[in-house]
Amino acid sequence: MSPLRLGIVLFSLTTVLSACGGGGGGSGMLAQPSPSPITYDTMVSEVSEILQSSDSLSMTDVFLAHPSIPQEVRIQTACGLGQCEAYFSDYKLVDISLSDFAFSDPTNDHRFFTGSGGVQMADIRGRDEEAGVTTDFKNLGGWLDYSAFAIEVYSIVSGVSSGVDLRGTVFGGAYSLGDATGTTPTFGNATWTGTMVGGDTSLTANRGNRIQGDATLYFDLSQLDIDVAFTNIRDIDVAFSNDNDDRARLSHENIVWENIPVTSGSFATGSDESSIEGRFYGPNHEEVGGIFEHNEIVGAFGAKR
């Protein structure tokens, strides 16, 4: 298993092995992505350019579930200066920086499409095998001109470590990265539109399913605050099936934060499992992106003015 990818592995397989051992409305249905001119080479070229100018990396907590653990585990992640770390007990599970990113293998299943707000999107799926452990991954991400974001979810199909059967383990997280302005807009009120993605962390049959919706952010210059709304949110791993009843059941309520103070080009509010943080990207605040955790969903978003 290679280091971070855009369809990204945020931590090595030892993350799961250690944790398991130690822990015991909108416009309707999302349409299935249609063919688009985006290609693997396009993604590599454009995201590589974003990475070269990026100075900011933020990441949600790592979520982890295993059949032997009666509740979801959240492992807190701390980020700063383009680097993120997370510890389980005294074991460092995440130690990653912008320079560690690498792209998914071109032989994996890549589907490219355009998301809300014109965001270029990649749905990446594949399988890794390492040290006798087989892991399926499903990642969903997007990129603009100055920033990128994604949710990644991993499911262990088979494997045993230290006597622990790892089958059924699901883990993952989301991230946002880019060229942060570090300053607050001064040009007046403005709206950014784009796409949000997430992962279902609930201890249900839908655990690990990916979620997609629309993102709208409105900045009020007079109040120096921002409103964030995620709408038309659907579980895409069920929405792409043929079961219309499941499609109806697996829509999600809108997620809204209002009047979040903006300071030095960034904003944050909330704590524990209901929080959001974001920042403006690009020399003229052309984009805004970030990460969030809300109601058993962890995710990320990107939008442009």
pLDDT at position 240 is 52
Residue 162's pLDDT band (boundaries 50, 70, 90)? confident
Give a yes or no: residue 246 inside a domain.
yes
pLDDT at position 216 is 98
11 vs 70: CA distance, rounded Å: 23
pLDDT at 276 over 90: yes
Give a yes or no: residue 31 inside a domain.
no
pLDDT at position 29 is 31
Domain CATH number, residue 230: 2.40.160.90
Full domain range(s) for residue 140: 14-24+36-304
Give a yes or no: residue 9 inside a domain.
no
Residue 244's pLDDT band (boundaries 50, 70, 90)? low
For the whole model, what pTM was predicted?
Answer: 0.86
pLDDT at position 31 is 38
Give a yes or no: residue 237 inside a domain.
yes
All residues at 6 or more sequence positions from 213 whose CB lies less than 8 Å from its CB, including other chains: 26, 116, 195, 196, 198, 230, 231, 232, 233, 234, 252
Phi, psi (rounded to 5 degrees) for 41:
-65, -35
pLDDT at position 14 is 39
pLDDT at position 205 is 83
Tally of domains within the chain = 1
pLDDT digits (tens, 9 = 90+) for 70-110: 787 888 899 988 889 888 777 777 778 898 888 889 999 99
